[in-house]
Structure 1
Amino acid sequence: MSLQFKHFIVLLFFTGFAFSQVEEVHPPKDIKTIAFRGSTNESQLPILKLGEPLVLEFDALNGNEPDFYYVIEHYNYDWTPSNLVKSEYLTGFDNQRIQDYKNSFNTYQIYSHYRLQIPNQQTRGLLVTGNYLISIFNDDDELVFSRKFMIYEDLVNVGVSVKRSRDVKFIDKKQSVDIVINNSNFNFNNPLENVKSLIIQNNNLNTAISNVKPQYTLGNQLIYKYTSETSFWGGNEYLYFENKDVRAANVGVQFIDLKDIYHNYLFINTSRANQIYTYNPDINGNFLITAVDTEDVSIEADYTMMHFGLQYPELTNGESIYVYGNFNNYALEPDNQLLFNQESGLYECAFRLKQGFYNYKYVVTDADGILHEGAISGDYYQTENNYKVLVYYRDLGARYDRLIGMGEASSVNISN
Structure 2
Amino acid sequence: MLISSLVCSQVEEVNPPDYIKTISFKGNTPESQLPVLKLGDYVDLEFDVLNGDEDDYYYTIEHFNFDWTPSVLIKSEYLDGNDNQRIRTYENSFNTYQIYSHYKLTIPNEQTKRLKVSGNYMINIFNSDNELMFSRKFMVYENMANVGVNIKRTRDIAYIEEKQKVDISITPKSSHFNNPKQNVKILVVQNNNLNTAISNLVPQYTIGNQLIYKYDSESSFWAGNEYLFFENKDVRASNTGIQHIDLEDLYHNYLFTNYSRADKPYTYNPDINGNYLVTVLDRDNPDIEADYVWIHFSLLPDPRFKGKTIHVYGNFNNYAIDDTTKMVYDDVDKVYKCAILLKQGFYNYKYVAVENNGTLNEGLVSGNFYQTENNYKVIVYYRDLGKRYDRIVGFGEGSSINISN
Instruction: Kindly state the Cα deviation for residue 317 of structure 1 after the two structures are TM-superposed.
Output: 5.7
Q: CA RMSD in A?
A: 1.2
Q: Closer, same or farther in 2 for the Cα pair 1:51/1:242, shift >3 Å?
A: same
Q: Distance in 2 between matches of 1:285 and 1:273?
A: 18
Q: Secondary structure at the match of 1:269?
A: coil
Which of residues 342, 345, 363 in structure 2 aligns to 1:356? 345
Q: Secondary structure at the match of 1:335?
A: helix
Which of residues 203, 224, 238 in structure 2 aligns to 1:249? 238
Which of residues 27, 50, 59 in structure 1 aligns to 2:48? 59
Does the aligned pair in 2 maintain the 1:184–1:220 contact within 8 Å?
no
Q: Distance in 2 between matches of 1:301 and 1:164?
A: 41
Instruction: Kindly state the Cα deviation for residue 320 of structure 1 after the two structures are TM-superposed.
Output: 1.1
Q: Distance in 2 between matches of 1:402 and 1:105?
A: 44
Q: Distance in 2 between matches of 1:241 and 1:327?
A: 12
Instruction: Kindly state the Cα deviation for residue 63 of structure 1 after the two structures are TM-superposed.
Output: 1.5
Does the aligned pair in 1 maintain the 2:305–2:353 contact within 8 Å?
no
Alignment match, 1:197: 186
TM-score, normalized by length of structure 1?
0.94
Question: Deviations 1:104-134 (Å, cap 9, x if unpaired)?
Answer: 0000000000000001111111110010000
Instruction: Kindly state the Cα deviation for residue 397 of structure 1 after the two structures are TM-superposed.
Output: 1.2
Q: Distance in 2 between matches of 1:86 and 1:400?
A: 13
Alignment match, 2:248: 259
Q: Secondary structure at the match of 1:308?
A: strand
Residue 290 (structure 1) aligned with residue 287 (structure 2): no
Instruction: Kindly state the Cα deviation for residue 315 of structure 1 after the two structures are TM-superposed.
Output: 6.9
Q: Secondary structure at the match of 1:28?
A: coil
Supply the AA of the counterpart residue of 1:180.
S
Alignment match, 1:240: 229
Q: Distance in 1 between matches of 2:124 and 2:325?
A: 23
Alignment match, 2:20: 31
Alignment match, 2:35: 46
Q: Closer, same or farther in 2 for the Cα pair 1:20/1:282, shift >3 Å?
A: closer
Does the aligned pair in 2 maintain the 1:109–1:261 contact within 8 Å?
yes
Residue 413 (structure 1) aligned with residue 399 (structure 2): no
Q: Secondary structure at the match of 2:199?
A: strand
Residue 130 (structure 1) aligned with residue 116 (structure 2): no
Supply the AA of the counterpart residue of 1:181.
I
Q: Distance in 2 between matches of 1:345 and 1:316?
A: 14
Question: Deviations 1:314-367 (Å, cap 9, x if unpaired)?
Answer: 777642111011111000011111111111111111011000000001000101
34-43 or 310-319, larger mean C-alpha shift: 310-319
Does the aligned pair in 2 maintain the 1:94–1:123 contact within 8 Å?
yes
Instruction: Kindly state the Cα deviation for residue 39 of structure 1 after the two structures are TM-superposed.
Output: 3.6
Question: Deviations 1:243-265 (Å, cap 9, x if unpaired)?
Answer: 00000000000000000000000
Q: Secondary structure at the match of 2:350?
A: strand
Residue 276 (structure 1) aligned with residue 276 (structure 2): no
Does the aligned pair in 1 maintain the 2:33–2:136 contact within 8 Å?
no
Alignment match, 2:203: 214
Q: Closer, same or farther in 2 for the Cα pair 1:39/1:412, shift >3 Å?
A: closer
Q: Secondary structure at the match of 2:200?
A: strand
Supply the AA of the counterpart residue of 1:79.
W
Does the aligned pair in 2 maintain the 1:73–1:133 contact within 8 Å?
yes
Question: Deviations 1:166-217 (Å, cap 9, x if unpaired)?
Answer: 1111110000000011125232110011000000000000001002101111
Supply the AA of the counterpart residue of 1:231.
S
Identity of aligned residues (%): 65
Which of residues 208, 216, 221 in structure 2 aligns to 1:227? 216
Which of residues 356, 359, 364 in structure 2 aligns to 1:375? 364
Does the aligned pair in 2 maintain the 1:155–1:186 contact within 8 Å?
no
Q: Distance in 2 between matches of 1:156 and 1:20?
A: 25
Instruction: Kindly state the Cα deviation for residue 44 of structure 1 after the two structures are TM-superposed.
Output: 2.7
Q: Distance in 2 between matches of 1:317 and 1:353?
A: 29
Please give the residue correspondences for 1:113-192 in structure 2 after superposition, counting only pairs within 5 Å. 113-192=102-181
Which segments of 5 or more consecutive residues in structure 2 lack a partner in the other structure?
1-7
Alignment match, 1:8: none
Give the number of aligned pairs: 398
Does the aligned pair in 1 maintain the 2:176–2:209 contact within 8 Å?
no
Alignment match, 1:3: none
Does the aligned pair in 2 maintain the 1:321–1:364 contact within 8 Å?
yes
Q: Distance in 2 between matches of 1:136 and 1:153?
A: 26
Q: Distance in 1 between matches of 2:328 and 2:285?
A: 36
Q: Distance in 1 between matches of 2:404 and 2:322?
A: 37
Does the aligned pair in 1 maintain the 2:9–2:67 contact within 8 Å?
no
